[in-house]
Structure 1
Amino acid sequence: MENLTFEQLPQAMRLLHEKLDRLEQRFEEQNTLQDAETIFNVTQAAAFLHLSVATLYVKTSRREVPFNKQGKRLYFYKAELDEWVRKGRKKTMSEIREEAGQHVLSTKRRT
């Protein structure tokens, strides 16, 4: 490592910051890929979803939750469970009011 002068410190800090940003981005991309490929068994999926195993079995029998089946065993991809939870989001009252207001405005414009 070379000795830096006081005048070189800002540029050295900028380069160091850029390298850290690239490393952080790579790390996040790698974690995202690993999460997408993570496979849970029934017990792990139930714990991840904060459900009992029995409740998870009911949801799979009703085909409410995404799952894979090999023989008699059930498997769950973490990414699919994440997406399933996200799709279940309910709108807030302010979001519903805003959509209603937008609908009323767009209806008035047509008439």
Structure 2
Amino acid sequence: MENPFEIIIEKLNVIEKRISSIEHKLGGTSINDCYKEVMNLNQLCDYLELSKSHIYKLTSNQEIPHYKRGGKKLYFNKYEIDNWLLQNKIVTRREIEMQAANYCIKYKFKF
């Protein structure tokens, strides 16, 4: 019977080789580089799939959370961008029905 730890080590080595292969195909970027906490303008454009001009417009209108260091370069916090993206949620029909039912129960509305 084989040692179970050796089997685990072999499988981890296979996984590590596959990850290295994927990183190589992606152009040498590691998985952690894709999820930086602080992004510059180019990284944000890639992340949001928007043009630089559109990002500049959002920053000049103060519609997107951003930081300026030295007066020129723009930086963006990924956590703040994710929160900004998730604003203005569209309520589903099911959620509206639940809210209406709760309102009727709370105020004892009769049909």
Q: State the TM bucket, normalised to the shorter chain.
A: 0.5 to 0.7
Are residue 53 (structure 1) and residue 49 (structure 2) matched? no
Structure 1 counterpart of 2:63:
64
Structure 1 letter corresponding to 2:55 = L
Segments of 5+ residues of structure 2 without an aligned counterpart are 9-30
Shift of 1:52: 1.6
Provide the secondary structure at the position in 2 that maps to 1:75: strand
Provide the secondary structure at the position in 1 that maps to 2:74: strand
User: CA separation of 1:88/1:45 partners in 2, compared to 1, >3 Å: closer, same or farther?
Assistant: farther
Shift of 1:48: 0.7
**Consecutive aligned runs of 4 or more in structure 1 exceeding 3 Å deviation:** none
Query: In 2, Cα distance between the equivalents of 1:41 and 1:81?
Result: 12
Q: Determine what percentage of the aligned residue pairs are the same residue.
A: 31
Query: In 1, Cα distance between the equivalents of 2:92 and 2:43?
Result: 31
TM norm structure 1 = 0.58
Shift of 1:102: 1.2
Are residue 83 (structure 1) and residue 108 (structure 2) matched? no
Shift of 1:86: 2.2
Aligned residues: 84
Segments of 5+ residues of structure 1 without an aligned counterpart are 5-11, 17-30
Higher fraction of helix: 1
Cα RMSD between the aligned structures?
3.1
Structure 1 letter corresponding to 2:53 = A
Structure 1 counterpart of 2:98:
98
Structure 2 letter corresponding to 1:50 = E
